[in-house]
Amino acid sequence: MTAERKPSTGQAGRESGTDEAAGSVGRLYVVATPIGNLGDISRRAIEVLGAVDAVLAEDTRHTRKLLSHLGIKVPLRAYHAHNEAKATVDAILALARGSQLALVSDAGTPAISDPGSRLVEAAIADGFEVVPIPGPSAVLAALVASGLPTERFTFLGYPPRKAGELARFLGEAAASSATLILLESPRRVGTTLRAAAAAFGDQRRVCIARELTKAHEEFRRGTLGALAASIEEPLRGEVTLVIEGATGGDVRALDDATLRDRHAVLLAQGISPKTALKHLVEATGMRRRDVYRALHLGTESDDTDTPGDTL
């Protein structure tokens, strides 16, 4: 390793920036790495990566390039979704022997829509210290540049791929006043935007943040309806979606034509009529009988409940 080990400095050492990874007590460092621009890595992250006994990496080939760029030579161990159970056991055994370990993902902060939370939980349960080394985050970078409210936000991770599950997922978030942040495949951005327009209304504001901190960084801002209609898939690069939360003007008693339009969008995604009805009720906050009547052109009488298995 390139970093010389020193006696453990404890909390004082962490605050002063001295070598944190020294000492015989097992310690796990959760280290944020660049999401694109290599210049975003912190001095503290470099010090830790250069002083630990091993780095647990989501993709060892990717991390080896980063470490080579930094001039760091340290053993790499694979830690990813397919070996997480065994790798967690191995890591805990290493910590028990007094090893200093660093956990990294391919980009950004580990354990945020990436492997790692299982190891952190196990390390804490066994009494080992877990030290976060903060840094780049696609979630926060997209949020602060989106132009949308930042006071309250909810990170939803990757949305489901199946149409019905996606509709329910978005329906549960429709009434939230917090700004919503999602990660999405560049091949599915249009699909997710159309589903979000059906769930939230096509006038909700959204920002598509693509290739954050890289040479071709791009932000597309507009309404869900407009961007869903203009998107050409597949996009290139990593994508983060930031969607405006529900506002006071979002009282969602919609007119009949709008309800029928949203219902048609849901049906086109392969969702059953009954599930589409339930989704619209949850997304709008309207009474089930009112949504049902709107979809049936008002043919039901006012004092008759909608049958549970008709639509």
Range of the domain at 31: 10-136
Distance separating alpha carbons of residues 36 and 226, to the nearest angstrom = 28
Q: Where residue 120 sits, what CATH number does that domain have?
A: 3.40.1010.10
pLDDT at 249 over 60: no
pLDDT at 207 over 60: yes
3-37 in b/e form (b: 16+ CB < 10 A) is: beeeeebeeebeeeeebbbbbeebbbbbbbbbbbe
pLDDT at 29 over 90: yes
Predicted local confidence at residue 245, as pLDDT: 94
Residue 298 lies in a domain: no
Percent with pLDDT over 70 in the chain: 84
**pLDDT, tens digit (0-9, with 9 covering 90-100), for 52-94:** 999 999 999 999 999 999 999 999 999 999 999 999 999 999 9
Residue 307 lies in a domain: no
User: Do residues 246 and 132 share a domain?
Assistant: no
Q: Which of 136, 153, 183 is the last residue of a domain?
A: 136
Predicted local confidence at residue 20, as pLDDT: 60
CA 62 to centroid of chain Cα atoms: 20
Residue 299 lies in a domain: no
Q: Which of 75, 106, 136 is the last residue of a domain?
A: 136
Residue 225 lies in a domain: yes
pTM over 0.85: no
pLDDT class of 22 with cuts at 50, 70, 90: low
C-alpha angle 20-21-22 in degrees, rounded to nearest 5: 95
How far is the first Cα of the chain from the last one, in angstroms, to the nearest whole number? 66
Q: Where residue 183 sits, what CATH number does that domain have?
A: 3.30.950.10
Predicted local confidence at residue 251, as pLDDT: 43
